[in-house]
Copies of this chain bind each other. A is one copy, B any other.
Amino acid sequence: MHAPQVPESSRIRFRCKARTRWSDEDNQNVLNNAVYMTLLEEARHAYFQKLGLLDGRHFPFLLAQTNIRFVAPGKGGVEVELEVITTRLGTSSVEQSYRVRDGAAVWCEAQAVLVIYDPVRKRSAPMAPSFRQAVEAFEGLA
């Protein structure tokens, strides 16, 4: 199984913060694995919101796949940094990499494939040129 590929933090342009909750810990006294999915979701939304691509409650994409490597145990009650970078734009897909850290301690690294989605026709749709340009401009992609 291939580990998720995540560029080093110095190359990642977007970061935001989130706070873990006491109840995010499970009976093993560490952040439950499912909570990382929620943190990555929050990071993803903050990223697209910053780029002006999150139109209120209408999400233009679906999560098609995610590969997460759990590096160190997380804890509740911590303000963590969430790093997000778009690494590739396809015809109707977006590949991103993420990192969750508590200061120098990396909790997890992940990759995801998002698919641009038409909720009316309930199927994937080509990426709008404006969407592509906004991401390319932010990330400095060709």
Contact = CB atoms under 8 A, between A and B. Distances in A.
Contacts of A23: 26, 32, 34, 38, 41
9 contacts: A1-B111, A21-B38, A23-B41, A26-B26, A28-B59, A64-B69, A64-B70, A66-B68, A67-B67
The count of identical subunits is 4
A142 interface: no
A34 B29 CA distance: 18
A127 interface: no
A18 to B, nearest CB: 7
A62 interface: yes
Interface string A34-62: 11111001100100000000000101001
A67 B28 contact: no
A33 B66 contact: yes
Given A25-B26, A67-B68, 18 more contacts: A4-B65, A18-B19, A21-B38, A21-B41, A21-B42, A22-B26, A22-B42, A26-B26, A26-B27, A33-B37, A34-B34, A34-B37, A37-B37, A63-B70, A64-B70, A65-B68, A65-B69, A67-B67
A67 B19 CA distance: 25
A136 interface: no
A25 B27 contact: yes
